[in-house]
Amino acid sequence: MRHFASLSELQLEALFYQPPTTLTKYSPKQEIAYALGATLYIPATKDRLYERLNSSPIQDASSVVLDLEDAIGDDEVKDAEDQLLHEVWSIYRSTHSMEHLPFLFIRVRSHKQLKRIAQSLGVALTTITGFVFPKFTTSNGEMYLEGLQEIQATYNTPLYAMPIIETPELIYKESRIEQMTALKELLDRYQSSILNIRIGATDLCGLYGIRRTTNSTIYDIGLMKDFISDLTNFFGRKGDAYTISGPVWEFFQSNRVLKPQIRQTPFRQSYGETGLHLRKDIINEYLDGLIQEVLLDKLNGLTGKTIIHPTHIVPVNALQVVSKEEYLDACNILENRGRNGVTKSPSANKMNEMKPHQYWAEEIIKKSKAYGVFQDGHTYVSLLKEPASV
């Protein structure tokens, strides 16, 4: 997988000071964790998966979850399992290289289903990067993680876990600290298998009958802002940090229902009349909210995002690209650690303090490998243009 693989070499050279690198499931775990970006959920009942992954609009996806849980009904489980197995085996037989495909994950309903799917896939597990464990708690987590390690040992292929935190005891104030402490102790024992921690914001908000609107973000909901802060406090600390992904953005423009545009969105007002030839398949009335939420995800220590629509892929991944200023600051900090306490930044507009900013700099370098570094004068907007005009 390489981010923005649909761009030509000339386009990459024009946009990137340092281009994204190619990664596979055999790359170092930390590099994969940072590279997931916009993780697209697809119901396991979908057919022609290999064809879908290689064509627009999904061809730019960096990570995909085949969903056997919430995306399908309880009476569809058997058919969905059969369809998923057929599609994964088809991918395994159709390609000898995974470099041009996204990281693939399977969201299972239980540890029993995990073992059943793994046994049915066998050698085709080499196509899969890992499994997503919904409603993950200390009660079911050990069974999931033990089962995963047994499968890895049996089939001798790296497989990672992505637990979803979305159950009542982890958001209820009276039990949260105790539960997060116990959860961290559990995940620490299996840390080599944990790729990413995901936030089930829809389930958590549903416990209170709350839902954000199109012009608000998850951080405008006090309960969720408080929860995300605690989750980052426990799992984002320097030394034993886990990669935490931003929660799902729920809104997308339907191609079948064209709503009248009463007003210009802030994004259109800023860029719509500049002659940039923005992509009509991406720019819609919900883009402003998505951009704002991703920016707040990053500011609060989260990397990447769960998505449920292909139009979210490019905006989310474009917002992960490192600016040249950030990259040069990070290099400056890492090159001077141990020699200087404080230096003026290469852009001469801020203070770079070696010890406090070191962890930040290390994170920026990891992101730069996965998403690349923009050339001067380019931002995420450059990736939202029509390809011919980049």
Structural domain spans, the chain: 8-19+322-390, 22-320
Closest CA to 38 of 69, 14, 72, 4: 4
Distance separating alpha carbons of residues 243 and 232, to the nearest angstrom: 9
> Residue 341 in contact with residue 353, Cβ under 8 Å?
yes
Question: Any idea what the Cα angle at residue 337 is, between residues 333 and 341, rounded to 5°?
Answer: 90
pLDDT, residue 171, reads 97
Q: How far apart are CA 190 and CA 181, in angstroms?
A: 15
pLDDT tens digits in sequence order for the chain, 390 residues long: 999 998 999 999 999 999 999 999 999 999 999 999 999 999 999 999 988 888 878 888 999 999 999 888 888 899 999 999 999 999 999 876 666 789 999 999 999 999 999 999 999 999 999 999 999 999 999 999 999 999 999 999 999 999 999 999 999 999 999 999 999 999 999 999 999 999 999 999 999 999 999 889 999 999 999 999 999 999 999 887 899 999 999 988 766 444 444 444 555 555 554 455 677 777 777 889 999 999 999 999 999 999 999 999 999 999 999 999 999 999 999 998 777 788 888 888 998 888 899 999 999 999 999 999 999 999 999 998 866 555
Whether the predicted model's global pTM rises above the 0.85 cut: yes
Contacts made by residues 5-8, CB under 8 angstroms, sequence distance 24+:
5/59, 5/60, 5/100, 6/59, 6/60, 6/387, 7/387, 7/390
CA dihedral 233, 236, 240, 244 (to 10 degrees): 130
Question: Counting beta carbons within 10 angstroms of the beta carbon of residue 59, is it exposed (0 to 12), middle (13 to 18) or buried (19 or more)?
Answer: middle
Tell the CATH topology of 22-320: TIM Barrel (3.20.20)
**Is 188 flagged in the annotation as binding?**
no
Torsion angle (degrees, nearest 10) of CA 75, 76, 77, 82: 140
